[in-house]
Chains A and B, each alone.
Chain A
């Protein structure tokens, strides 16, 4: 009884530890397969771009790009599992960059609003 309880508790603790920080290699392989699939989809747009609208291409490529970015950052870079402070630092850099360069685009009238 005691042995059984010990095993259960320790297994649970190990599972919790593993769940928190160390996904299995199989999990990484699955993530890589999904990323490869998305990259394949992106590349395929090059061959069909004459038959679809530019707006569709722009939106679909943007979505795939963002999803791939988030997946690598979350799973391969462990942002999903690590302390949130790392996430805050990285997102702060991203948000700052996006803010600064959006203003940059307006300043140079890249959006053609001037």
Chain B
């Protein structure tokens, strides 16, 4: 298909922003310029040469993220089920209060200070949230063709994700030192599986970000292929929204 034919086929009248245009008839030159904008718009958002007019790559990513909801739903549900079966950490650490009430991981450690370190995990949450902002700024920059900004924001996002992962490794190490390991009890298994799976997702996201950076440096990724960055961004933001759920449900909800 020639470019001219492609442009015609990707420029349905319904895509014209009629409501924003003046009511009076447009001069030919104006119409031509407006048509160029709409063509560019379609090439960016809808003109993907597919029968649906929707990018197959983005469609696939959204279908994948929909299926990921089931994966993390399973892990969060399992955690909720098994946190009630919290049976203490190491010998000598009482997980129950004087009345025999299960007081959970936030207050169940030595001297009752808890195993979870909420202030520390809160900082990690802010860092991951901040990485979502830098991700959208990276996408925004490559769309505008501001490649230096794109490189800076992409590396910043990867760096923030790495700091989050470093924090998680530190946190896990602390838990093990306090007596809560993967096989200590069923709560530990559910907790480490849930947060570990999330950590693996963040790590994969960092690899994807670095891959986009390298592709850009090799000249294989520019503003024409901003959709690639958008798809990586979708994955990254999904990892962020999953952490929003985990942080509240696992760390903040009253025991």
Task: List chain A positions with a Cβ less than 8 A from chain B.
Answer: 2, 5-6, 8-10, 12-17, 20-22, 25, 28-29, 31-32, 35-36, 39, 42-43, 45-46, 49, 54, 57-58, 61-62, 64-65, 68-69, 72-73, 76-78, 82-83, 85-86, 89-90, 92-94, 96-98, 100-101, 104-105, 108, 110
Task: Please determine whether A9 and B30 come into contact, CB atoms closer than 8 angstroms.
Answer: yes
Of chain A, the residue at the smallest CB distance from B106 is: A46
Segment at the A interface, from B183-191, B214-222, B232-240: B232-240
Given contacts A57-B254, A89-B63, contact A5 B241 (CB under 8 A): no
Task: Please determine whether B129 and A110 come into contact, CB atoms closer than 8 angstroms.
Answer: no
Task: Please determine whether B77 and A72 come into contact, CB atoms closer than 8 angstroms.
Answer: no
Task: Please determine whether B58 and A86 come into contact, CB atoms closer than 8 angstroms.
Answer: yes
Question: What are 25 sample pairs from A and B whose C-beta atoms fall under 8 A apart?
Answer: A5-B26, A5-B30, A6-B30, A9-B34, A13-B21, A21-B41, A21-B45, A31-B133, A36-B126, A39-B126, A46-B118, A58-B253, A65-B245, A65-B249, A72-B244, A86-B54, A86-B59, A90-B65, A93-B68, A93-B69, A93-B70, A96-B66, A100-B73, A101-B76, A108-B81
Task: Please determine whether B29 and A69 come into contact, CB atoms closer than 8 angstroms.
Answer: no
Residues of B with C-beta under 8 A to A96: 66, 69-70
Give the contact-size bracket for chain B: 35 or more
Of chain B, the residue at the smallest CB distance from A43 is: B122
Residues of A with C-beta under 8 A to B27: 2, 5-6
Of chain A, the residue at the smallest CB distance from B149 is: A25
Which residue, of B16, B52, B62, B253, has the highest number of chain A Cβ atoms within 10 A?
A: B62
Given contacts A72-B132, A72-B244, A73-B241, contact A2 B29 (CB under 8 A): yes
Given contacts A28-B133, A85-B54, A97-B73, contact A61 B33 (CB under 8 A): no
Partner of A28, one of B22, B29, B137, B254: B137
Min distance, Cβ A84 to any Cβ of chain B, angstroms? 10
Residues of A with C-beta under 8 A to B11: none
Given contacts A32-B132, A72-B244, A101-B77, contact A43 B34 (CB under 8 A): no
